[in-house]
Amino acid sequence: MSVTNLLDNWAEVRHFHPIDDKPHDPYKWAMSIDLDACIGCNACAVACYAENNLPVVGREKFQHGQVMHWMRIERYWNEDDREFPDQGAEFLPMMCQQCEAAPCETVCPVGATNHTQDGLNSQIYNRCIGSRYCSANCPYKVRYFNWYDYPTTDNVWPAEMNYQLNPDVTVRGKGVMEKCTFCVQRLRAAEVTAKGEGRIVREGEVQTACQQSCPTNAISFGNLVDPESRVYKQWKAQQVDLAKDEQEKDKQEGGSDLRGYRILEDLRTYPSVMYLERVRESAV
């Protein structure tokens, strides 16, 4: 460790969304979620609990806002003067958007959340000191803080459920922040296998837990750099560009008929998740 190294590394760590000299290559993990296909069944959230060792906190702590669901289904009501307002329920799966210029990264006092080379927003539990600044700065409110030392303080994995804990994922301790990782343990395993074979990860070789469990295939996940991937095709078809804070299609008069959009794009966070807007009855 020398001063030069320190400064070099700092500049690298703080390198933000892709620019011409350093494009994402060969990986940029991204997602697209078709809200028209989403039926709000919560299977993705359950799968996330199982895959990522999330504690089941119970009703009381949920009401205190101490729930740890990395993947949550947000529910909105679009009543539209319906006869039965319940028909107007709309669902939106919300998880860490893995922003390219993430507001959480710049404010972490200890550099516990960084950008990885394959376009993920990493969260390093053993480095985190629990300042919660990242959560305060996150526009999507998808970061969750461990207020308790599970499972010692609370029986969050009742008998035998402890056997289903995923050994590839750390069980987080008290006082650290956590969030959706795009199932990084699976990504890394696939990347290492591919690297050993001298190729890149093929489309369909790696799935996130939420994608795997979605009964309607609303979630697709893959490598945005790979033109063969489903995610790439969807982003392309919807004319959503990762490196833009306002899409060309939205600039034209009257907007666009395309369904693809990213949440709070104008905050210039450059999120990696594209949503496909629900097709409304009124539009059909």
Partner 1 sequence: MHRYLRFPAMLACFLMAVTCHAATDQPLTTEDALGPQIQQPIEFPHYRHAGNRNPVDPTNSDPTKGGMEINCQYCHTYARRSLTAGIPPLQKCIGCHQNIPTVRDKPRIVELFKYWDAKKAIPWKKVHDLPDFVRFNHERHIKRFIEQQGRPVQEVCGYCHGQVKEMTTARRQKPITMGWCRSCHMKDHVVVVANKDGIPEGGTPLGKQDYWYTFQKPAEKRNAAGELTAKGPNDCWLCHK
- The residue (of 168 and 203) whose beta carbon lies closer to partner 1 is 168
Minimal distance, residue 268 CB to partner 1, in Å: 22
- Burial degree of 86 (CB within 10 A; 0-12, 13-18, 19+): exposed
Which lies closer to partner 1 via its Cβ, residue 106 or residue 117? 117
Strand pairing class (121-123; 143-145)? unpaired
User: x/- string (CB under 8 A) for partner 1, residues 81-120?
Assistant: ---------------------------------x-xxx-x
Distance, in Å, from the CA atom of 33 to the CA atom of 210, rounded to the nearest integer, reads 11
Residue spans of beta strands (DSSP E) within the chain? 29-34, 72-77, 89-94, 113-115, 121-123, 143-145, 177-179, 219-223, 260-261, 273-276
* Integer Cα distance of 185 and 151 in angstroms: 22
Q: Candidates 61-69, 192-200, 231-239, 265-273 — which segment interacts with partner 1 by CB under 8 A?
A: 192-200
Q: Which of residues 115-154 bind partner 1 (CB under 8 A)?
A: 116-118, 120, 122, 124-127
| Angle of CA points 91, 182, 250, to nearest 5° | 55
- Judged by beta carbon, residue 222 or residue 260, the one nearer partner 1 is 222
Residues 4-63 interacting with partner 1 (rule: CB under 8 A): 4-5, 9, 12, 15, 22, 25-26
Q: Return d(Cα 270, Cα 11) in angstroms, integer.
A: 20
Minimal distance in Å, beta carbon 165 to partner 1? 12
CB atoms within 10 A of CB 180: 27
**Per rule CB under 8 A, is residue 282 in the interface with partner 1?**
no
Question: What's the CA gap between 119 and 243, in Å, rounded?
Answer: 12
CB of 258 to partner 1, least distance (A): 33
Binding site for partner 1 (CB under 8 A): 1-5, 9, 12, 15, 22, 25-26, 114, 116-118, 120, 122, 124-127, 168-170, 181, 184-185, 188, 192, 195-196, 198-200
